Amino acid sequence: MTAPTTDHYAVIGNPIEQSKSPLIHSAFAQVTGQDMDYTKLLAPLGGFAAVVDAFRASGGRGMNVTAPFKLDAFAYATDLAPSAQMAGAVNAMKFEGSKVFAENFDGVGLVRDLVHNLACPLMGRRVLILGAGGATRGALMPLLAEQPAELVIVNRTVAKAHELAALAKQHQTGQVPVQGLGYVDLQGQTFDVVLNASSSSLSAELPPLPASVFAPQCLAYDLTYGKGLTPFLQLAQQAGVTQLADGVGMLAEQAAEAFAWWRGVRPDTAAVIERLTVPLV
């Protein structure tokens, strides 16, 4: 009788030491009884394809992709899912022979965290998302599928916000109003859900956001995780917002989506989220 073969997975990035993905996927494998291992791969800038080629040649089955290689993975893939095409970026790959299947689970992970973990339904609510980069682009379709009353994208470079709003209108199946605005255009407007998908929290900066945008009972959510009370979350707290969250749940949920795609079983995320949560203080 042949012994089962351990399947190999990895996360690739630069830097990569900070990645929580091995911890998350090892926990998922344990609770679901999957025979697999999961490692970190540091690729040099410009060396993404060579590292992935070597991993595949050694029998690797799949891979998560983190910064700065999500565009490299987009170019490397042979079969792009609609989520990856819309995001213009890839965060998970699956290898089957010469085929490289690619997905982007960031947006669906964000929505699952909001709706299921944080009990924050989006239907009929006004949603504001800060930033017009890849994170926002990847989140647009999953957010719009929840049928909010309105989705507003705000960005320092207003043209980029307009561009994403036009893209969302073009691709959505419903009739949700979508606007792209500059920060100065937010005066006098309030929102039920405010999502910070900009890079501001990575450098501990405060986006030029008027505190008046937070409606009573608003949820303020920072897609960055593990940074504690970021300047964005501090602003929300000072404005009276009591429901604050960072992106740790999004991290776990997108990982669970990738795991289910690879292994055919979706792990529960509650224990992993609890383990990784840093108090927002």
Active-site positions read 70
Handedness of CA 249, 203, 155, 89 (dihedral sign): negative
158 is in an annotated binding site: yes
135 is in an annotated binding site: yes
228 is in an annotated binding site: no
94 is in an annotated binding site: no
Burial class (CB in 10 A: 0-12, 13-18, 19+), 279: exposed
Question: Is residue 255 a contact partner of residue 64, using CB atoms and an 8 Å limit?
Answer: yes
60 is in an annotated binding site: no
20 is in an annotated binding site: yes
88 is in an annotated binding site: no
263 is in an annotated binding site: no
138 is in an annotated binding site: no
131 is in an annotated binding site: yes
Q: Which of 18, 63, 11 is nearest to 41 (CA)?
A: 11
**CA 126/CA 146 separation, integer angstroms:** 12
| Angle, CA 134 vertex, CA 10 and CA 260 arms, to 5° | 40
The 3-class secondary structure across 66-90, one letter per residue, is CCCCHHHHHHHCCEECHHHHHHCCC
125 is in an annotated binding site: no
Question: Is residue 185 a contact partner of residue 128, using CB atoms and an 8 Å limit?
Answer: no
Question: Is residue 36 a contact partner of residue 263, using CB atoms and an 8 Å limit?
Answer: yes
* CA-based R_g, the chain, Å: 19
Handedness of CA 135, 105, 75, 55 (dihedral sign): positive
156 is in an annotated binding site: yes
19 is in an annotated binding site: yes
Residue positions forming the annotated binding site for shikimate: 19-21, 66, 91, 106, 225, 254
Residue positions forming the annotated binding site: 19-21, 66, 91, 106, 131-135, 155-160, 223, 225, 247, 254
